[in-house]
Each structure stands twice: as structure tokens, then as C-alpha cells.
Amino acid sequence: MVKVLNDWRLIILLCLTLGLAPFFPEPHLFGKIRWISGGANGMEPKDYFDVLMHGFPFVLLIRLLILKLKK
């Protein structure tokens, strides 16, 4: 399991697919972050879960970058 979490190729693939899907008209995650930064008016629990789901690959990427820079 740890080997999967430390695989650069898999994490980059997750960021480019799940993290940015759907791609048009804008990446879904960017729209949700803009919505939250604008006050999150009308957001429901499913919207917050959606942010977590689309943002998790980027959390893994940041974690991996921190681990590599510490070495």
C-alpha cells in the first residue's frame, strides 16, 4: 500500500484525471475552490465531499513532494 502512495506516475495520473475532471468549461476542482473562497453560499455536504474527492490526488502529490524534499 505504501508503494502505491509513493508512486509518482500514479499520483500524477490521478491529478490529471480525477483531480481535474471534468475538463471543460473549467476543471471542477477550480470551480469548487472559487465557490468556497467566495463564501460557499449554497454549498451542501455533497459539495464539500466533492472537493475532498477531487482534491485528494493533489494532497497526495504535495505529501510526496514534501517527503522527497526532506530526504
CA angle 21, 22, 23 (to 5 degrees): 95
Give 60: exposed, middle or buried? Use CB within 10 Å, 0-12, 13-18, 19+.
Answer: buried
Domain positions in the chain are 2-70
- The SS3 call for residue 42 is coil
Q: What is the structure's pLDDT at 64? A: 93
Per-residue confidence in pLDDT tens, the chain, 71 aa? 778 888 899 999 999 998 888 878 888 888 889 999 998 888 899 989 999 999 999 999 999 999 999 98
What is the C-alpha separation between 20 and 45, in angstroms, rounded?
Answer: 20
Cβ–Cβ contacts within 10 Å for residue 53, how many?
13
pTM: 0.81
